[in-house]
């Protein structure tokens, strides 16, 4: 059991620091060595962890769950070095670390509150994020449907336009059986006299044959 415990701890250690504890063969000694190396309760360590927590900011587009995990990790590390942060302060630090897109939600959560609980705030944030993603997905689906409809209408218009252009091109290929000019069709000769073969008032001017 001792050997399995030591091996499990070693599997969780990064490759670049495994050499620092390779000589420890008991679980308590191995854990104590790790605490001495990386959880030293010095003033510098405490200030660095506090600085990381106070400067923590969530960028737009970052997953909210990932941001909460980073926040909890910093909070737990401060607790291990005997730094206690009041729950109200933790809640305010979490809310101020959110981007401007959460401003309305933060105002709603803080309104009418006599006290702040970090667990309550985290639950409210997750619910808000879930609802926001659902709205964004529905908006994206509606936009996709609208875009597909517009493309369909444009395709119909283009097809209709092509038909009209094709019809005009066909007219240009028609040759008059009388004057032998291209593009002349029957309606261009409204007063055509079939008996004597002449047009008195042709379309666009007078012609004599």
**DSSP 8-state assignment for residue 20:** G
Mean per-residue pLDDT of the chain: 75
Burial, 125: exposed, middle or buried (Cβ in 10 Å; 0-12, 13-18, 19+)? buried
Which pLDDT value is given to residue 207? Answer: 44
Q: Per-domain residue ranges for the chain?
A: 1-38, 41-135, 175-209
Q: Give the C-alpha separation, 209 to 206, whole Å.
A: 10
Give the tens place of pLDDT for each residue, 61-75: 888 889 999 999 999
What is the value of pTM for the model shown? 0.50
């Amino acid at each position: 059991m001792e050997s399995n415990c030591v091996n499990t701890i070693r599997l969780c250690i990064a490759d670049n620091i495994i050499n620092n504890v390779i000589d420890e063969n008991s679980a308590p000694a191995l854990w104590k060595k790790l605490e001495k190396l990386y959880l030293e309760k010095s003033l510098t360590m405490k200030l660095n962890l506090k600085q990381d927590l106070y400067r923590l900011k969530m960028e737009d587009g970052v997953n909210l769950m990932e941001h909460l995990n980073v926040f909890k990790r910093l909070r737990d590390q401060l607790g291990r070095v005997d730094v206690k942060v009041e729950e109200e302060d933790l809640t305010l630090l979490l809310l101020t670390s959110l981007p401007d897109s959460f401003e309305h939600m933060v105002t709603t959560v803080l309104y009418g509150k006599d006290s702040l609980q970090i667990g309550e705030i985290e639950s409210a944030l997750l619910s808000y994020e879930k609802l926001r993603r659902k709205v964004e997905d529905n908006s994206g689906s509606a936009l996709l449907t609208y875009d597909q409809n517009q493309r369909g209408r444009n395709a119909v218009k283009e097809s209709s336009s092509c038909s009209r252009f094709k019809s005009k091109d066909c007219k240009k290929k028609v040759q008059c059986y009388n004057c032998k000019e291209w593009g002349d069709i029957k309606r261009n000769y409204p007063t055509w006299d079939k008996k004597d073969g002449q047009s008195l008032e042709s379309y666009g001017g007078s012609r004599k044959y």
